[in-house]
Amino acid sequence: MQKIEMGLEEPWFKDPSVADIFGGRADVETVEGASIIIRIDDGILDLVELTVARFHGDDEWVWDTPDAYGWTKDIDAAKTAAMKRGWHEAMLRLREEVATEVIDPLDEIAKAAATAVRKRREKE
């Protein structure tokens, strides 16, 4: 059986290199990124990139994933929204790659991983 792992392998980090995804509207100093890594048999299958930033002269924070984006009033809410959507996107990608008989175990993996992320964030 294949060994499947999903997780946020590093905490959010400053990443001004991706500021251009916000069309030049983002304050470069506020851009942060993270990635949910999907591994099968110790190889990286895919990743879901998460990004947050504050726009110039605006009180709101924008969050972005490969398939969605939105705005919130603070950075923590933006990161939470990006994570929630990012895990959803990661599960969709994984389901496209893996046979249907492992869907239930994958759901358990995702729930366990999401719980671990929430507990880690609570400690911060």
To the nearest whole percent, how much of the chain has pLDDT over 70? 94
Tell me if the pTM is above 0.75: no
Q: Rounded to an integer, what distance in angstroms lies between the CA atom of residue 57 and that of residue 26?
A: 9
36 with 86: CB under 8 angstroms?
A: yes
Which pLDDT band holds residue 56 (cuts at 50, 70, 90)? confident
pLDDT tens profile 62-119: 999 999 999 998 999 999 999 999 999 998 888 777 665 567 777 888 888 888 888 8
Question: What is the sign of the dihedral through the CA atoms of 115, 116, 121 and 124?
Answer: positive
Q: In this predicted structure, what is the pLDDT of residue 46?
A: 84
Backbone angles phi, psi at 81, to 5 degrees: -65, -40
pLDDT tens profile 28-47: 889 999 999 988 777 777 88
Q: In this predicted structure, what is the pLDDT of residue 50?
A: 94
Q: In this predicted structure, what is the pLDDT of residue 102?
A: 67
CA dist 1 to 37, 58, 91, 93, 99, Å? Answer: 20, 50, 19, 19, 11
Q: At what angle do helices 75-97 and 103-123 cross, to 10 degrees?
A: 160
